[in-house]
């Protein structure tokens, strides 16, 4: 283990894993709520639309909250089919029809499968857990086009947005950026959300060799991060993402 590199990354985790991180990040949307199910539902949908500029994601996350009357769980469970079909929402390729399907799938998960936490908790490792969740989510009738919004690690997707959602739900620390409201998945199991920033920084500092940002690259990166911290390897997402988005790579 390169202790100098670990020390550098640990310092960057402390620098970026701060309450100030919340304001300009999509995680700011669920931080507006208090109840577990409300936080889960809005977090999942906001994480799903988390591509593009963060300002746009946050803007549309707030629109989602307004649509749901700031009570995502109640809206998901009680809104009529007419209400859900008439929603006015679009974020890039995620549109009102996708939102309608997501609300119905989430309702089914809470009614028939013990909720989001239970559905994500089935499987020996995080890959199996994501596959089980995806299979369960897609039991709800939907258009084929909507499946692209639920990434599949069996097709070598890095599942960036799902892994980000899981980080939000599972990680616990005193900084309270992440919510830590789930107990059925351990922090040791979590994988980082592998986006362009994280991948580029990981390659530049020698944590990752594979060029594509896919599941194989994610496994390669996690082998290194798990060696750096077997209990909470996903904390290094703050360091890698923060360094990347702030152009803050200085190993001296």
Q: Identify the pLDDT of residue 250.
A: 66
What the block records as the tokens of 70 is 């700031």
Q: Identify the pLDDT of residue 223.
A: 98
Q: Strand ranges (DSSP E) for the chain?
A: 90-91, 94-95
The CA-CA-CA angle for residues 106, 166, 92, to 5°, reads 65
Q: Which segments of the chain have a pLDDT < 50?
A: 251-252
* pLDDT 10s digits, 79-108: 999 999 989 999 999 999 999 999 999 999
Answer positive or negative: Cα dihedral of 192, 98, 45, 76. negative
Q: Identify the pLDDT of residue 218.
A: 98
Q: Identify the pLDDT of residue 247.
A: 86
Identify the CA nearest to 130 among candidates 91, 168, 160: 160
Q: Identify the pLDDT of residue 252.
A: 43
Please give the Cα distance from 76 to 92 (Å, whole number).
22
Q: Residue ranges of the domains in the chain? A: 3-245
* pLDDT 10s digits, 110-143: 999 999 999 999 999 999 999 999 999 999 999 9
Please give the Cα distance from 222 to 44 (Å, whole number).
23
For 250, the 3-state DSSP assignment is coil
Q: Identify the pLDDT of residue 181.
A: 98
For 82, the 3-state DSSP assignment is helix
Q: Identify the pLDDT of residue 3.
A: 87
């Amino acid at each position: 283990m390169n202790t100098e590199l670990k020390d550098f990354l640990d310092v960057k985790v402390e620098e970026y894993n701060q309450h100030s991180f919340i304001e300009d990040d999509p995680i700011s949307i669920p931080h507006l709520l208090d109840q577990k199910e409300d936080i889960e539902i809005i977090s999942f949908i906001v994480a799903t639309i988390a591509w593009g500029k963060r300002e746009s994601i946050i803007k549309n996350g707030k629109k989602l909250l307004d649509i749901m009357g700031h009570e995502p769980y109640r809206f998901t469970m009680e809104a009529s089919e007419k209400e859900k079909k008439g929603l006015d929402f679009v974020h890039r390729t995620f549109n009102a029809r996708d939102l309608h399907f997501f609300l119905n799938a989430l309702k089914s998960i809470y009614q028939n499968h013990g909720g989001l936490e239970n559905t994500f908790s089935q499987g020996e490792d995080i890959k199996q857990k994501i596959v089980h969740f995806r299979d369960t989510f897609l039991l709800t009738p939907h258009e084929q086009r909507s499946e692209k919004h639920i990434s599949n690690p069996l097709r070598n997707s890095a599942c960036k947005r799902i892994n980000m959602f899981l980080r939000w739900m599972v990680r616990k620390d005193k900084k309270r950026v992440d919510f830590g409201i789930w107990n059925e998945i351990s922090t040791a199991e979590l994988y980082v959300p592998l986006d362009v920033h994280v991948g580029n920084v990981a390659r530049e500092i020698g944590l990752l060799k594979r060029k594509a940002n896919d599941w194989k690259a994610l496994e390669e990166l996690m082998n290194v991060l798990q060696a750096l911290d077997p209990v909470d390897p996903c904390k290094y997402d703050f360091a890698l993402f923060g360094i990347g988005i702030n152009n803050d790579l200085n190993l001296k």
